[in-house]
Amino acid sequence: MPITRLILTASALLLAATAPLSWADGSNEALVQAIDSRSDADRARDSARHPYDTVQFFQVEPGMTVAEVLPGGGWYTRILANYLGGDGTLYGVNYAERMWPLFSFATEDFIKQQRVATAKFDNTVKGFTDNGIEAQGFTFSTVPSQFSGTVDRVLLIRALHNLNRFEAQAGTRSQAMAGVRAMLKADGLVGVVQHRAPESAAQEWADGRNGYLKQSAVVAMFEDAGFELVAESDINANPKDQPGPNDMVWRLPPNYRGSDDDAAKRAVMAAIGESDRMTLVFRKAP
């Protein structure tokens, strides 16, 4: 059973009082249905991503307003759109457009695709469900002012490493944290899943460029932005993932970068599985 730790600060007592220590009970039938309704390709990754336990741990409930950061191909979006239901609202929050040119691979066509994906997020969600859920896409530089203080949950699932990677160069993480804080209700929560670097790793290696961040660094960046840690879990932990100074997270499944033509190396990566990930919950500090 995954280990769940509740950080019992004074302002976390409400969370501790309402959050069970075991999440994998299957009692949330609406969430089970949303997860089971997906394609076989999506469900094939459930054993590595643990969507039921993760969504439960973040205390997401039908009817809530949720902001999903960097929804990408929609793996979690398909779950959330069906689970939140017709009374819910789902926002897709993309990186600020000025961030995309910082990636060496970002062509003009790629950047255009990101812009279009953000603008059409509502149509994408409608393609995942016909339950009438409200949806809208925007970036961290275009958060609508009317959304201030309206969001119940902000989810950053494997979305922090690039924000941190370009912080010194372009202030990307600071802008994102300010956007998260502005959107969130006073009693809202931020859920984080992030590739976890060993605490012994060199700071330069673990700045996000290789996909990994130290858990202590993630906690510190949230604290610096006016949040406090209220819960942590090993739901998405994988002790087999022990990256070294020459490793990047994309060497592992499903990417297998660097082992396309090396069956033996690919088998080693497959045996490790997907990355070791921290799973954290934050709230605004009083």
- DSSP letters, 45-79, are THHHH-HHHHHHHTT--TT-EEEEE--TT-HHHHH
Rounded average pLDDT over 192-204: 97
Of 3 and 36, the one with more pLDDT: 36
d(CA 154, CA 168) in angstroms, rounded, equals: 24
What's the chain's length in residues?
Answer: 286
- With a cut of 50, say whether residue 21 has pLDDT above it: no
pLDDT tens digit string along 201-238? 999 999 999 999 999 999 999 999 999 999 999 999 99
pLDDT, residue 20, reads 43
**β-strand partners of 65:** 89
pLDDT, residue 9, reads 55
Rounded average pLDDT over 16-42: 78
What end-to-end distance do the CA atoms of the chain give, in Å?
A: 33
Query: Among 24-38, 74-88, 173-187, 271-285, whose mean pLDDT is lowest?
Result: 24-38
pLDDT tens digit string along 111-130? 999 999 999 999 999 999 99
d(CA 280, CA 88) in angstroms, rounded, equals: 23
- Output the six-digit token pair for 60: 């997401």
pLDDT band per the 50, 70, 90 thresholds, residue 155: very high
- With a cut of 90, say whether residue 108 has pLDDT above it: yes
- With a cut of 70, say whether residue 264 has pLDDT above it: yes
- With a cut of 50, say whether residue 18 has pLDDT above it: no
pLDDT, residue 231, reads 98
Where b means 16+ CB within 10 Å and e means fewer, 254-282 reads eeeeebeeeeeebeebeebebbbbbbbbb
pLDDT, residue 71, reads 96
pLDDT band per the 50, 70, 90 thresholds, residue 1: low
- With a cut of 60, say whether residue 97 has pLDDT above it: yes
Of 112 and 17, the one with more pLDDT: 112
Those residues with Cβ within 8 angstroms of residue 106's Cβ, 6 or more apart along the chain or in another chain: 100
pLDDT, residue 60, reads 98
Element housing 15 (H / E): helix 13-18
Longest dimension (CA), the chain: 54
Those residues with Cβ within 8 angstroms of residue 194's Cβ, 6 or more apart along the chain or in another chain: 156, 158, 159, 160, 161, 213, 218, 277, 278, 280
- What average pLDDT does the structure give for the chain? 93
CATH superfamily of 4-241+275-284: Vaccinia Virus protein VP39 (3.40.50.150)
pLDDT cut 90: percent of the chain above it = 90
d(CA 146, CA 183) in angstroms, rounded, equals: 9
d(CA 96, CA 143) in angstroms, rounded, equals: 10
pLDDT, residue 13, reads 47
